[in-house]
């Protein structure tokens, strides 16, 4: 067992001993190191006030990502480089180009949110990202500001590359050397006795799939931690004590992407930020949907496999994966099994995963000829909001007739669920307005949605029908009027 976490901060290797595995990086920075530039706003990864930048080796180069410190447990920092807003401090009052641009464009008022905005733009600066308005709006979607408004912030970001490049600090080669010096070749294992309760907490961070499989097999009651976008809230909001945690974030090749002639294999550890453009190149609507899953910070942390494993009925990724015909690969020690993704979800909060078993990868078929794939989510906000309804549609249309149909909705049942009656009503039929009307009615056989704080039962059913109709219109450019339903207002996108 090791009780030391090592990471780089401001060009120096830091070693932290005997740490509570549940201690968030935000609380560590503020209470232990007095780095109070990192703010606490929501403590759930929504507001961006706690944004920091992490640097890590990926495929032979250092990659930087902005993430939320409030839901990042400190041991997850092991082997990485950390940058806070204080890390940008220059000599004699010198400001980083990101900071100077914000000052020059008067892009701050109360200032509480500004350090997080600086760090989001700083990560984008380090990665030399584009500065068109659409890209910057996405970069800043996870940073909430209610004082300045985003116009001057975006204007500042558009000229941040025009300022002289910062001097000092580590070069890429030096950073890589330091990172290489603190990389572990085997599993990080921490044990910490909680002083308040006397409970022994354990944290494991395997480095290989075999180590991960062995750790889960030996601790089948452990909490599996991927990006922390869900588990982090168990601690910050529900105040749960996690006795044993197994982190998958450092497992080598757990985020692999394998392209074959007919399929795409996605490692369960692949983050949304890594997958968005790749999936969008095959399934444009899938990429567009991922763009609306959380913010850049959340997509830089959350994983596709983690979203599947926790089995949420309103997770946006499941309907599109199920509609695409995804196969789930589960592993237990050295044995694997496969199943259609829709079969993994048994009932609310219950999945077909045995003790000691974990999600290893997802296999998607590539789009084929004559295929129509369309997806859309309905939520109260366009960005950073949980769906009221998410619909995904996959049709094979040949000679004007429906030869295959896969339809899946989230938010309409206790699990992500296919619309079997609706599919059956379309099969072999003419892809036409009248047939789609019948299929819309058939949805009432598939779902009996609930009313909750996000939407009423009637709203959900109306929206589900209208999403099918919208898919038909998008594919056929059909302009016939819809006379059986009142179209739901989609002022939110």
Q: Note the pLDDT tens digit of each residue in 165-198.
A: 887 666 778 889 999 999 998 999 999 988 777 8
Q: Mean pLDDT check: name the lowest of 68-82, 159-173, 262-276.
A: 159-173
**Across the chain, which distance is largest between two alpha carbons, in Å?**
74
- What is the pTM (predicted TM-score) of this model? 0.92
Per-residue burial over 52-64, b if 16 or more Cβ lie within 10 Å, else e, is bbbbbbeeeebeb
State the chain's mean pLDDT as an integer.
92
- CA–CA dist 351, 333 (Å, integer): 19
371-378, strands of its sheet edge to edge = 371-378, 389-398, 401-410, 417-418
What are the DSSP calls for 48-59, one per residue?
Answer: -TTEEEEEEEET
Per-residue model confidence (pLDDT) at position 166 = 81
319-368 pLDDT tens trace: 999 999 999 999 999 999 999 999 999 999 899 999 999 999 999 999 99
Per-residue model confidence (pLDDT) at position 58 = 82
Per-residue model confidence (pLDDT) at position 168 = 63
* Closest of 393, 377, 483, 488 to residue 431, by C-alpha: 393
In sequence order, the β-bridge partners of residue 5 are 16
Per-residue model confidence (pLDDT) at position 91 = 65
- CA–CA dist 300, 76 (Å, integer): 14
**Taking the CA of residue 143 as centre, how many other CA atoms within 13 Å lie in the half-sphere pointing to its CB?**
31
Contact indicator for 81, 8 with CB cutoff of 8 Å: yes
282-296 pLDDT tens trace: 999 999 999 999 999
DSSP 29: I
pLDDT of 489 over the 60 cut: no
Per-residue model confidence (pLDDT) at position 488 = 41
313/481: higher pLDDT: 313
- CA–CA dist 442, 235 (Å, integer): 42
pLDDT of 485 over the 50 cut: no
Q: Where in the chain is the domain with CATH 3.10.20.30?
A: 4-86+173-247
Query: CATH for 377-476, among 3.30.390.50, 3.30.70.141, 3.40.50.300, 1.10.580.10?
Result: 3.30.390.50
DSSP 163: S
Per-residue burial over 409-437, b if 16 or more Cβ lie within 10 Å, else e, is bbbbbebbbbbebbbebbeebebbbebbb
Q: Mean pLDDT check: name the lowest of 11-15, 72-76, 152-156, 474-478.
A: 474-478
Per-residue model confidence (pLDDT) at position 349 = 87
Per-residue model confidence (pLDDT) at position 482 = 45
pLDDT of 486 over the 50 cut: no
**Architecture field, domain 4-86+173-247:** Roll (3.10)
Q: In the chain, what percentage of residues exceed pLDDT 70?
A: 95
Contact indicator for 208, 251 with CB cutoff of 8 Å: yes
DSSP 255: T
Per-residue model confidence (pLDDT) at position 170 = 66
Per-residue model confidence (pLDDT) at position 491 = 35
Per-residue model confidence (pLDDT) at position 61 = 85
394-423 pLDDT tens trace: 999 999 999 999 999 999 999 999 999 999
What's the whole-number mean pLDDT along residues 252-265?
A: 95
Per-residue model confidence (pLDDT) at position 69 = 98
pLDDT of 476 over the 60 cut: yes
The confidence band for 478, taking pLDDT boundaries of 50, 70 and 90, is low
* Closest of 237, 283, 276, 274 to residue 254, by C-alpha: 274
- CA–CA dist 206, 311 (Å, integer): 23
Q: Which CATH class is domain 97-162?
A: mainly alpha
Per-residue model confidence (pLDDT) at position 169 = 64
DSSP 131: -
Contact indicator for 265, 256 with CB cutoff of 8 Å: yes
What's the whole-number mean pLDDT along residues 209-233?
A: 94
Q: Where in the chain is the domain with CATH 1.10.150.120?
A: 97-162
Instruction: Identify the H or E element spanning 236.
Output: helix 231-236
Per-residue model confidence (pLDDT) at position 195 = 74
Q: Where in the chain is the domain with CATH 3.30.390.50?
A: 377-476
365-387 pLDDT tens trace: 999 999 999 999 999 988 888 99
Contacts of 6 (CB under 8 A, 6+ apart): 13, 14, 15, 16, 78, 79, 182
CA-to-CA separations, 262 to 70, 319, 366, 439, in angstroms, rounded? 40, 21, 5, 30
- CA–CA dist 345, 364 (Å, integer): 17
- CA–CA dist 265, 277 (Å, integer): 15
Per-residue model confidence (pLDDT) at position 1 = 58
- CA–CA dist 243, 201 (Å, integer): 5
Contacts of 46 (CB under 8 A, 6+ apart): 142, 144, 295, 384
Q: In the chain, what percentage of residues exceed pLDDT 90?
A: 84
pLDDT of 94 over the 80 cut: yes
What's the whole-number mean pLDDT along residues 301-311?
A: 92
315/486: higher pLDDT: 315
The confidence band for 89, taking pLDDT boundaries of 50, 70 and 90, is confident
pLDDT of 301 over the 60 cut: yes
């Amino acid at each position: 067992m090791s009780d030391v976490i090592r990471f780089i901060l401001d060009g120096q290797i830091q070693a932290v001993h005997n740490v509570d595995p549940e201690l968030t990086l935000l609380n560590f920075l503020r209470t232990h190191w007095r780095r109070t530039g990192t703010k606490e706003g929501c403590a759930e990864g929504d507001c961006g006030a706690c944004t920091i930048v992490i640097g890590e080796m990926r495929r032979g180069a250092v990659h930087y990502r902005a993430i939320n410190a409030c839901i990042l447990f400190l041991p997850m920092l092991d082997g990485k480089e950390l940058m806070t807003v204080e890390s940008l401090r220059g000599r004699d009052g010198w400001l980083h180009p990101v900071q100077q641009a914000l000052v020059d464009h008067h892009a701050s008022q109360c200032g509480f949110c500004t350090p997080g905005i600086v760090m989001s733009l700083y990560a984008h600066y380090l990665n030399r990202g584009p500065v068109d308005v659409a890209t910057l709006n996405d970069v800043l979607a996870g940073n909430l500001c209610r004082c300045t408004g985003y116009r001057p912030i975006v204007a500042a970001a558009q000229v941040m590359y025009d300022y002289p490049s910062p001097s000092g600090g580590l070069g890429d080669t030096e950073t890589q050397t330091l990172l290489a010096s603190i990389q572990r070749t085997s599993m990080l294992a921490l044990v910490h006795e909680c002083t308040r309760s006397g409970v022994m907490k354990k944290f494991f961070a395997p480095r290989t799939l075999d180590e991960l499989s062995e750790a889960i097999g030996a601790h089948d009651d452990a909490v599996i931690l991927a990006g922390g976008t869900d588990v982090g809230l168990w601690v910050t909001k529900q105040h749960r004590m996690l006795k044993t945690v197994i982190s998958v974030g450092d497992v080598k090749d757990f985020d692999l992407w394998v392209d074959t002639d007919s399929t795409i294999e996605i490692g369960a550890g692949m983050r949304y930020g890594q997958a968005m453009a790749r999936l969008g190149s095959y399934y444009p609507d899938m990429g567009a949907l991922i763009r609306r899953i959380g913010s850049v910070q959340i997509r830089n942390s959350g994983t596709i496999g983690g979203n599947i494993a926790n089995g949420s009925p309103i997770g946006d990724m499941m309907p599109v994966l199920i509609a695409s015909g995804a196969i789930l690969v589960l592993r237990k020690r050295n044995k694997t099994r496969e199943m259609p993704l829709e079969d993994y979800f048994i009932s609310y909060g219950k999945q077909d995963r045995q003790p000691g078993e974990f999600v290893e990868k997802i296999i998607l078929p590539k789009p084929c000829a004559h295929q129509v794939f369309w997806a859309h989510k309905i939520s109260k906000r366009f960005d950073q909001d949980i769906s009221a309804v998410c619909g995904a549609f996959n049709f094979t249309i040949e000679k004007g007739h429906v030869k295959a149909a896969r339809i899946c909705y989230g938010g309409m049942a206790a699990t992500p669920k296919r619309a079997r009656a609706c599919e059956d009503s379309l099969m072999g039929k003419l892809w036409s307005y009248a047939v789609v009307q019948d299929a819309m009615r058939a949805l009432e056989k598939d779902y009996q949605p609930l009313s909750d704080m996000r939407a009423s039962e009637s709203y959900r059913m109306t929206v589900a029908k209208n999403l099918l109709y919208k898919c038909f219109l998008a594919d056929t450019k059909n302009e016939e009027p819809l006379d059986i339903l009142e179209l739901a207002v989609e002022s939110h996108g």
